[in-house]
Amino acid sequence: SDSQDLDLAILDSVMGQLDASRIRENLRELSKEPHVATSPRDEALVQLLLGRWKDSATGLDSAKTSEYTVLLSYPSAEQPNSVEVVDPSGGLLVYANRGSEEDFKHLEAQRIKLEGTIALTRYGGVGRGAKAINAAKHGVVGVLVYTDPGDINDGKNSPSETFPNSWGLPPSGVERGSYFEYFGDPLTPYLPAHPSSFRLDLNNISGFPPIPTQPIGFEDAKDLLCNLTGPSAPGSWQGALGCEYKLGPGFEPNGSFPADSEVKVSVHNRLELRTSSNVLGIIQGAVEPDRYVIYGNHRDSWVHGAVDPSSGTAVLLEISRVLGTLLKKGAWRPRRTIILASWGAEEFGLIGSTEFTEEFLSKLQERTVAYINVDISVFSNATLRAQGTPPAQSVIFSATKEISAPGSSGLSIYDNWIRYTNRTSPVYGLVPKLGTLGAGSDYASFVHFLGITSMDLAYTYDQSKTSARIYPTYHTAFDTFDYVEKFLDPDFSSHQAVARTAGSVLLRLSDSLFLPLNVSDYSETLQSFLQAAQDDLGTLLEKQNISLGPLVTAVEKFKTAAAALVQHILTLQKSSPKVRMVNDQLMLLERAFLNPRAFPDERYYSHVLWAPNTASVATFPGLANACARAQEINSGPEAWAEVQRQLSIVVTALEGAAATLAPVADL
């Protein structure tokens, strides 16, 4: 019927059927072999997914693949990449901490000549690509990146203390990763990468590291770093390799290498056009087939990728099996359409998902209720970790309150979560803390480019028990099924907990008559951004005669309109034709925050609330960044004009958003 609503019996049944041992078997199969993007095994997994989703007893209504021709960077089989310590013919080695701009400035302040050097940096702090960009600015000609055991292993660095003897990263483990600065196929920004599409000139593309960059394990890093000469590195630069870190340049006279040795970084990666596949499956909505709930994860790994991404895909497949079974039995069909997706080439820069959003931009923007991402489903087994835009908070809370946490606590996932990560909301009091979405996985183009309410769900470790940046074998050859089974989630109960959470969120979004997106939860975000602007930028702006008054008014308008809409919804009958109208207001709110002209230098980023904020004030990103730039020495009046422009962009977006929440026939 038109007023079909969430059926709690079906929801219960789905929760009950999601099976830990099936997730385990999915994971065993998915991670059996390395399956880097476009490799034969990646293509074999495409067929595996397609088979599952087309299964006559457990599959979906339909499924298909969709191919894009994309630019990927692969090591050369004939000319392997190498790092060598050689007679003078490379560059003197320096230690540059995390490779941030401040790190290189510090080296220069120590009178260390960076021109022509090779910089050894450790993972963390700034992104991979940024290390090379920063380094090149200072004349560095090559970059090494290693994982310090202090950052990943709580200091443990001997083979006896690391995998397979603990979850720690072994000394030989090398963290791979994309060094591409943007996301999407590098040659086809804003266009789907079909064979015939316009492509940028390969010799003229931006976003790739300007100098050779190579990741190494901490075993090799130790050889290099513990032999450096020069002044001592500051305390905050020290790590757990078991020696005092020095800055270089070059090696000390009596160490393992001749004192005049240099380091040569040879990277022979080749950029190649390859065909990468997405797999898409669909369950057609019974009442509102033109409203989409999209749930996806990438498929490609760096090596075996048991955790990243197969732990997510194993969950995705178990959810599709349970829903598919209900569907094929005729026991259930969702109110709205569900689209399941297995994205290709995420590890090379979120490519499959980005190309998909480019290809179906209008259709997706008009019709998508929300995007759910489960990439790594289990970092470890302590607590839920959720990231998302504010309208996603309510449905995640509702779902997790009804599901038992793994283990023997007897708590709900929600009650367990709140013990690990919480905040005090001015509206609700103490609640679990939802993180914000950067560009770390396939949700990026959905939220930043299309303005679709998005979220990312996982189980993770207790941050009070380890300072690990991420699970230790992340992006290494040690991310295997054995690793998961021994150290992350032996009984797969955390996988099951994520399957239940994602499954419940998915069903609530696809089946609830009223969309469970609480738009008034955006009011807290706006208020906190406003508060930060007033507290940390108010005086500065006043001096420039820039008033935050219009922003205060706009935030107030938004809060009032959102609260009134929430009240209005409570008065509606289930059978009212107005239900779809308010649902459209809820679904489309996030779109009102898009402005494709706000950040002309940021590829894809159009969401005026969630674009990268590289400044120190936790406020509207355009405002924060513009203020930071205006305060630099040498900044001129144009920089203050840009502050004004960014302020007007936010005010216009907030007022426009408030107008979409106001009664629909108000002038």
Footprint of a second copy on residues 637-656 (CB under 8 A)?
641, 644-645, 647-649, 651-652, 655-656
Q: Which is nearer to a second copy, 41 or 603 (CB)?
A: 603
Please name the residues in contact with 534: beta carbons below 8 A apart, sequence gap of 6 or more: 548
Binding segment for a second copy (CB under 8 A), chosen from 21-29, 288-296, 435-443, 558-566, is 288-296
Residue 318 in contact with Ca ion, rule: CB under 5 A: no
* Contact characters 345-364, Ca ion, x per CB under 5 A: -------------x------
Nearer to a second copy among residue 160 and residue 196 (C-beta): 196
According to CB under 8 A, which one of 9, 89, 201, 601 is a site residue for a second copy? Answer: 201
294 binding partner (options a second copy, Ca ion, Zn ion, none; Cβ < 5 to 8 Å by kind)? none
- Residue 338 CA to residue 243 CA, distance in Å, equals 54
Q: Considering the rule CB under 8 A, would residue 206 count as an interface residue with a second copy? A: no
Choose from Zn ion, a second copy, Ca ion, none: what does 309 bind? Cβ within 5-8 Å by kind. Answer: Zn ion
Q: Give the separation between CA 598 and CA 611, rounded to whole angstroms.
A: 10
What value, to the nearest 5°, has the Cα angle with vertex 19 and ends 18 and 22?
125
Note whether 144 and 216 are within 8 A (CB).
yes
Distance CA 71, CA 109 (A): 39
171 forms part of the interface with Zn ion (CB under 5 A):
no
Which ranges constitute the DSSP H helices of 402-548? 413-420, 443-444, 481-483, 493-511, 522-543
Distance of CA 503 to the CA centre of its chain: 20
The two three-digit tokens of residue 492, written as one number? 């797969």
Inter-residue long-range contacts of 320-323, CB under 8 Å, 24+ positions, other chains counted: 320/52, 320/53, 320/58, 320/59, 320/60, 320/281, 321/22, 321/52, 321/58, 322/14, 322/17, 322/18, 322/503, 323/14, 323/60, 323/283, 323/503
Cβ proximity to Ca ion: between 358 and 511 the closer is: 358
- 435 secondary structure, DSSP code: B
Instruction: Mark whether 219 is an active-site residue.
Output: no
By CB under 8 A, the count of residues binding a second copy is 62
Torsion sign over Cα 558, 564, 568, 570 = positive
375 binds, among a second copy, Ca ion, Zn ion, none (CB under 5 to 8 A by kind): Zn ion
Nearer to Zn ion by Cβ, of 91 and 217: the residue is: 217
161 to 200, contacts with a second copy by CB under 8 A?
190-192, 194, 196-198
> Distance between CA atoms of 359 and 250, rounded to whole angstroms?
50
HSE-CB of 226 using CA atoms within 13 angstroms: 13
Token couple for 553? 């008014």
User: Which of 130, 155, 238, 360 forms a contact with a second copy (CB under 8 A)?
Assistant: 360
By CB under 8 A, is residue 421 in contact with a second copy? no
- Residue 629, interface with a second copy (CB under 8 A)? no
Contact 608, 554 (CB under 8 A): no
Instruction: Return d(Cα 71, Cα 272) in angstroms, integer.
Output: 5
- Per CB under 8 A, the list member of 130, 205, 361, 431 interacting with a second copy is 361
Active-site residue, selected from the candidate residues 175, 346, 358, 590: 346
Q: Please, which residue, 553 or 648, has the CB nearer to Ca ion?
A: 648
Is 449 a binding residue for Ca ion by CB under 5 A? The answer is: no
Strands 368-373 and 62-74: unpaired
Window 369 to 388, contacts with Zn ion (CB under 5 A): 375
Size of the site for Zn ion (CB under 5 A): 3
Residues from 134 through 193 that contact Ca ion (CB under 5 A): 184-185, 188, 193
Rounded Cα–Cα distance for residues 206 and 602 (Å): 12
Query: Taking the complex as a whole, how short is the minimal distance between the CB of residue 351 and Zn ion, in angstroms?
Result: 12
The three state secondary structure string of 72-106 is EEECCCCCCCEEEEECCCCECEEECCCCCHHHHHH
Contact criterion met (CB below 8 Å) for 111 and 141: no
Q: Mask: binding to a second copy, 441-480, rule CB under 8 A, as x and -?
A: ----------------------------------------
Task: Decide: is 420 part of the binding site for a second copy (CB under 8 A).
Answer: no
544 makes contact, choosing from Ca ion, Zn ion, a second copy, none, with CB < 5 to 8 Å by partner type, with: none
Residue 190 or 428: which CB sits closer to a second copy? 190
Nearer to Zn ion, 375 or 590 (CB): 375
Residue 203: exposed, middle, or buried by beta-carbon count in 10 A (0-12, 13-18, 19+)?
A: exposed
Dihedral sign computed on CA atoms, order 217, 220, 224, 225: positive
CB atoms within 10 A of CB 88: 11
Candidates 549, 601, 616, 636: give the one binding a second copy (CB under 8 A).
Answer: 549
Binding of Zn ion at residue 479 (CB under 5 A)? no
* Among the listed residues 64, 7, 149, 222, the one whose alpha carbon sits nearest the alpha carbon of residue 468: 149
Where in 484-543 is the site for a second copy (CB under 8 A)? none
- The mark string for 294-313 relative to Zn ion (x by CB under 5 A, - otherwise) is --------------xx----
Positions 49 through 88 that interact with a second copy (CB under 8 A): 61-64
- Nearest approach in angstroms of CB 547 to a second copy is 7
> Angle of helix 522-543 relative to helix 621-630, nearest 10 degrees?
20
Nearer to Zn ion, 309 or 472 (CB): 309
* Rounded least distance, CB 137 to a second copy, Å: 27
The answer to whether 135 and 110 are in contact (CB under 8 A) is no
* Cα–Cα distance measured from residue 171 to residue 216, given in angstroms and rounded to the nearest whole number: 10
185 binds, among Ca ion, Zn ion, a second copy, none (CB under 5 to 8 A by kind): Ca ion
Give the interface with a second copy as residue ranges (CB under 8 A): 2, 61-64, 190-192, 194, 196-198, 201, 280-282, 284-285, 287-290, 337, 339, 358-363, 366-367, 547, 549-550, 577, 580-581, 584-585, 588, 591-592, 595-597, 641, 644-645, 647-649, 651-652, 655-657, 659-660, 664-665, 667
Q: Interface with Ca ion by CB under 5 A: which residues?
A: 184-185, 188, 193, 358
Residues taking part in catalysis: 346
Residues forming the site for Zn ion (CB under 5 A): 308-309, 375
